[in-house]
Amino acid sequence: MSEPVRPRDKGDVPDDLLSRLRHSASHVMADAVCRLRPSAKVTIGPAIENGFYYDFDTEPFAPEDIERIEAEMAKIVAQDLPFVRKVISRQEALAMFEGKGETYKVEIIRGIPEGEEISLFQHGDFVDLCAGPHVARTGEIKAFKVLSFAGAYWRGDEHNQQLQRVYGTAFTSKEELAAHLARLEEAKRRDHRLLGKQLDLFSVDELVGPGFVLWHPKGAILRLVLEDMIRKEVVKRGYQAVYTPHVAREQLLEKSGHLAHYKDNLFGGMELEGQRYLVKPMNCPFHVAIYRSQLRSYRELPIRYSELGTVYRYERSGVLHGLLRVRGFTQDDAHLFITEDQIEAELDACVRFGMDVLRLFGFEDVKFFMSTRPKDFMGEIEAWTKAEAAIRRVLEATGHPFEVDEGGGAFYGPKIDLKIRDALGREWQCTTFQLDYQMPERFGLEYVASDGSRKRPIMIHRALLGSIERFIAVLIEHFAGAFPMWLAPVQARVISVSEKAEAYAREAAGVLLAAGLRADADLSADKLNAKIRRAQLEKIPYMLVVGERDMAARVVSPRTREGKQLPAMPLDDMAKTLVAEAAVPSLGDAGAKVV
């Protein structure tokens, strides 16, 4: 499961200039920390998307340290010190940093291959092992901000020393920095972990275990709506539903290649009757087992198996993050078994299907990526070459521009990834299609061709939403919890003005429920404004206020979550209006033709 890909804030500034600026700011920040904490040991500090960070071996930082570090950085910037590059020998570098007690720098130097150039960058008294590049002087760093602190392990290994990471950002102007900080504040407001609690969608309980999500009733409704939509649409496209177990013998994952190529992510294991079983990390080997349960004919192909399958993967505790990075999640998974001459038509149909689904949620800005053979690949290069050529032809035929992610493919095949851009301009990769010659070969899959010979099918691995958990996190943040009517866990709430209107409020809620709407009633003794405010915080699309006059006229007074008051409407008419608005959108016939 991939991390979210976030865009770089470019403005009109070329990436190389912005990267140099941020890299230089990281050095200034490291200098500031060392001035404030002379005993701190310096590790690494790269420019990253949207900013930079630096890791230190020191005691934890406190919130008030942000202002202290910024103030010290401002002094260094005001000095307008030049960044000076020096090339030195390995012996000189080792002697220098050993003398300073900078053990992490010494370890880095010893890992640099013999004969490779070793360079330093210095401003004032601060010297760092660095390849650069940098801006000319510290005075060029006009707009910067220290953002936050976090823990990190040296070289990302949880068995190593825990370090203190300081995050910051820098821009070429104060206006760009202010705009970025405003986006960060908006991102905090939309954080799916906070909204998940506010809207009572999900939780993670330490007794259950980190990375395992508990879906509350309202969150479960979100899942059901998404999953039902997918189930309905795959049937239109000739997919067949399957169900597979959550565990399997180790031999299955050994044969599929996951044991060798995915070992660090395999989760748990148990001994049963002398056999070792592992928890399912992927659905594909199980679908392969269904295919190989009988001999297939070319007349049956393509065979498309679809499953909302829950899988389990070991993620380190330090990277777990709400619904975005979990240890147990459900994929809207499918595996297609096809002949070689069906590759392009089926991949094209998959891409169209993916685009239709993404547009359903309003994601129109979609980037296409082609991910090629990784270093840790399985199988013969000739098969990879064929698969990559086919993927390139499909992408070129779509007319969409695409980027090539060299080495980004799965260990069993190259892939097409679709990345969406949310309301804050952040990019997320959810949809993926992978072309696999390797697994059918490893399992010895066959079909009977038209001439009676046995041939090997080819597989397409297809996920539209990807992880359901992750996609819901993206939706929560994209919509800021204010889901469109068809997705909203509660679509309407009837609010009684007084005790005398309670019976009518119950009746009105019953009418809405009978019409198929997700509705409830607030009959509490709270004042009307408090009830309306509560419904707005829960981001319920419609509030139907009823008092004694409404009861007498058998009407409701509708109000939207945005605060717009609508004219009173007969109860039955209101129910019909809401039913029409709440209908789950159809993807239509686009891409739905069964090949």
In which region does residue 188 sit, left (phi positive, over 0), alpha (psi from -120 to 50) or beta (all else)? Answer: alpha
Element (H, E) at 435: strand 427-436
Residue 573 pairs in a beta bridge with none
User: What Rg do the C-alpha atoms of the chain give, in angstroms?
Assistant: 29
CA nearest to 332, candidates 478, 440, 229: 229
Q: How far is 321 from 210, CA to CA, in rounded Å?
A: 10
Q: How far is 550 from 555, CA to CA, in rounded Å?
A: 5
Q: How far is 426 from 4, CA to CA, in rounded Å?
A: 8
Element (H, E) at 191: none
Q: Are 285 and 245 in contact (CB under 8 A)?
A: no
Element (H, E) at 258: helix 258-261
Q: Are 278 and 286 in contact (CB under 8 A)?
A: no
Residue with tokens 């609508």: 566
In which region does residue 370 sit, left (phi positive, over 0), alpha (psi from -120 to 50) or beta (all else)? Answer: beta
Alpha helices (H) in 266-342, listed in sequence order:
284-291
CA nearest to 363, candidates 474, 526, 198, 449: 474
Residue 54 φ/ψ, nearest 5 degrees: -140, 140
Helix axes 103-110, 90-100, angle to 10 degrees: 160
Q: Which residues of 370-396 are buried (b: 16+ CB within 10 A; e: fewer)?
A: bbbbbeebbbeeebbebbbebbbebbe
508, two tokens:
């009105």
- What amino acid positions are annotated as catalytic residues? 284, 313, 331, 333, 335, 415, 461
Residue 186 φ/ψ, nearest 5 degrees: -65, -35
CA nearest to 338, candidates 316, 305, 307, 382: 305
Handedness of CA 464, 469, 474, 478 (dihedral sign): positive
